Amino acid sequence: MAGGEEVEVKVLGDWSSPFVMRAKIALNLKGVKYENLEETLSNKSQLLLNSNPVYKKVPVLIHNGKPICESLLILQYIDEAWVDSGPSILPSDPYAAAMARFWAFYIDDKWLPAFMGIPRGKTEEAKVEAAREAIAGLQILEEVYEKLSKGKDFFGGNTIGYLDIALGSHLGWIKAAEKIIGLEFLEEKKMPNLTRWANCFCSDDAVKGVMPKVDELVEFAKKLQSRN
């Protein structure tokens, strides 16, 4: 961004949404100040409806009046709009960037539906089966981490990157699910790499202020279930 240029950045979101957290983490990494506008999804604001008229979902990043929707697209936009600020979110190497995009898509397209099968399961058996499928997906990502990180703290190397944000944004809900159903998702003996990675991710300054508290997510999940 040009020096001295006045920048207005807003994030339309919901505190419990891992997708909203993606945008906030990326902005924190780049050192960009933003206004957080909390949405009530049962009573969406006119600003949200106007900013994302197609999907009517959060997050929406509004940069100088221009809305950007969909969390993974928002990550790429932030990386390019503030290219000279903070660490790069996507790798500069084209192949590494393609791999980061591929596995981020895997998380949203394959892993997340399995994970979301836990609260949607109509029986305890269905919930446990969905949890086991989600754990199997994490075991795949354990191997991916070992290949991509090359012994460093994050998928992206020494600093949090695109794939770290894509998966790490779900860690609060993963820990909440562990409390709710009593299964350990990131078992240190079986997934030592991801366990260490998760600790590094959650302790980073860009993450600590926006990661929801696990107990609050558990209570929120119980309220949602009681409505169904």
Classify residue 119 as exposed, middle or buried by CB count within 10 Å of its CB (0-12, 13-18, 19+): middle
pLDDT value, residue 228: 62
pLDDT value, residue 122: 85
Per-residue H/E/C for the chain: CCCCCCCCEEEEECCCCHHHHHHHHHHHHHCCCCEEEECCCCCCCHHHHHHCCCCCCCCEEEECCEEEECHHHHHHHHHHHCCCCCCCCCCCCHHHHHHHHHHHHHHHHHHHHHHHHHHHCCCHHHHHHHHHHHHHHHHHHHHHHHHHHCCCCECCECCCCHHHHHHHCCHHHHHHHHHHHCCCCCCCCCCHHHHHHHHHHHHCHHHHCCCCCHHHHHHHHHHHHHHC
- The encoded tokens of residue 87 equal 């660490």
pLDDT value, residue 2: 40
pLDDT value, residue 209: 93
pLDDT value, residue 6: 62
pLDDT digits (tens, 9 = 90+) for 5-46: 567 999 999 999 999 999 999 999 999 999 999 999 889 999
pLDDT value, residue 227: 72
| CATH of segment(s) 9-81 | 3.40.30.10
pLDDT value, residue 173: 97
- The encoded tokens of residue 89 equal 């979110």
Q: What predicted TM-score, i.e. pTM, was given to this entire model?
A: 0.94
The owner of tokens 């960037």 is 97
pLDDT value, residue 37: 98
Contact 60, 52 (CB under 8 A): yes
pLDDT digits (tens, 9 = 90+) for 112-122: 999 999 988 88
The CATH 1.20.1050.10 domain(s) of the chain lie at: 94-227
- Residues of the chain under the 50 pLDDT cut: 1-4
The CATH 3.40.30.10 domain(s) of the chain lie at: 9-81
Q: Which CATH class is domain 94-227?
A: mainly alpha
Closest of 52, 54, 55, 53 to residue 12, by C-alpha: 52
